[in-house]
Amino acid sequence: MAKGESSSLTGVPIQIRDVSKVFGEDSENSFRALQPINVDIPAGQFISVVGASGCGKSTLMLMVAGLLERSTGDIKIDSKSVTKPITEVGIAFQDHLLLEFRTAFDNVMLHADIRGLDRKELAQRARDLFAQLRLEHAMDKYPRQLSGGMRQRVSLIRTLVHEPSLILMDEPFGALDALTRLQVRMDLESLWLRRRPTVVFITHSVEEAVGLSDRILVMSPSPGEVVDDIEVHLPRPRPIVLGDAPEFAAYVDRIHRHFERLGVLHGAPLPQTTAA
């Protein structure tokens, strides 16, 4: 067991069976966003979904959350079909969505107000998470007083504070600069290793997916389908810089080759030259 890793899993299994999505099914301008998808996600697994913009990554995540109706198929979380928005979940988006009129700590404590949780217990858990992310000094500050990276880490605390068994994340680091993304990636891995909830992580960054995941689903362009399901066998916790490791490079290269084959990545045409 890797240093810092929890001895037990707290996540839930997810089963996705023949799930597809067509927007505007009853109109002549219907749009197929997702081909039928079949995926099993074991409890406690960190799984990333990568693909080009518009391939249906976020659509899939919203259907798992019960926030978007699927056109076909079934999604089961802990053996129960998703028929409405699920509540025992932590969701993080690219926008931190912090309330400007509440301090960082009070933003995190929204869970106590909305879910009717024990405020004393949640407050202690929140303080522990602020300490783990080295943000004690930010607890009484308002979002406008925090940097982008700090706001995103507060959003991460809010996502985790009620100890959900399932976490859904849609490009949560997309607005951050490269160095801040590295730090927040390490923070997320560290926090995840403590309890091992199930995580579905949507990202455009191949390197980020390899750095975080147990497993990566590679999506084709729209209508999206899974073209590869990659298990990542790298030790945890993972170093902040992975680029020089040949094992890391092999995973990145495998995914990039899919994108080249699918036309997501392509080389620029050579400039035309005129003979003298």
For the residues of 178-207, what is the DSSP string, one character each?
HHHHHHHHHHHHHHHHHH--EEEEEES-HH
Confidence band, pLDDT 50/70/90 cuts, at residue 276: very low
Q: Residues of the chain with pLDDT > 90: what percent?
A: 53
**Residue 169 dihedral angles phi and psi, to the nearest 5°:** -130, 125
When mean pLDDT is compared across 4-13, 47-56, 194-203, 210-219, the lowest value belongs to: 4-13
Q: What is the pLDDT of residue 1?
A: 41
Q: What is the pLDDT of residue 160?
A: 87
Q: What is the pLDDT of residue 6?
A: 44
For the residues of 89-123, what is the DSSP string, one character each?
-EEEESS----TTS-HHHHHTHHHHHHT--HHHHH
- Determine the Cα angle at 243 with ends 239 and 248, to 5°: 80
Please, what are the domains in the chain? 1-89+165-263 (3.40.50.300), 99-163 (no CATH)
Q: What is the pLDDT of residue 268?
A: 55
Q: Is pLDDT at 12 greater than 80 in this prediction?
A: yes
Q: What is the pLDDT of residue 182?
A: 84
pLDDT by residue (tens digit) across 120-140? 888 998 999 999 888 999 999
Residues 13-20 have a mean pLDDT of: 97
pLDDT by residue (tens digit) across 70-109? 999 999 999 999 999 888 888 888 776 789 999 999 999 8
**Whether the predicted model's global pTM rises above the 0.85 cut:** yes
Distance CA 20, CA 24 (A): 13
Pairing relationship of beta strands 198-203 and 166-170 according to DSSP bridges: parallel
pLDDT by residue (tens digit) across 18-66? 999 999 887 778 899 999 999 999 999 999 999 988 899 999 999 999 9
Confidence band, pLDDT 50/70/90 cuts, at residue 114: confident
For residue 143, how many C-alpha atoms fall within 13 Å in the half-sphere facing its CB? Answer: 17
Q: What is the pLDDT of residue 118?
A: 75
Confidence band, pLDDT 50/70/90 cuts, at residue 271: low
Q: Is pLDDT at 2 greater than 80 in this prediction?
A: no
Confidence band, pLDDT 50/70/90 cuts, at residue 180: confident
pLDDT by residue (tens digit) across 252-269? 999 999 999 988 877 655
SS3 category, 221: coil
Q: Is pLDDT at 5 greater than 60 in this prediction?
A: no
Number of CB atoms found within 10 A of residue 192's CB: 23
Contacts of 8 (CB under 8 A, 6+ apart): 196
Two tokens, residue 39 = 């995926």
Tell me if the bond preceding 223 is cis, omega within 30° of 0: yes
| Mean predicted lDDT score pLDDT of the chain | 87
142, 192, 39, 251: CA torsion to nearest 10: 100
Two tokens, residue 253 = 């290269």
Q: Is pLDDT at 270 greater than 70 in this prediction?
A: no
Q: What is the pLDDT of residue 267?
A: 63
SS3 category, 249: helix
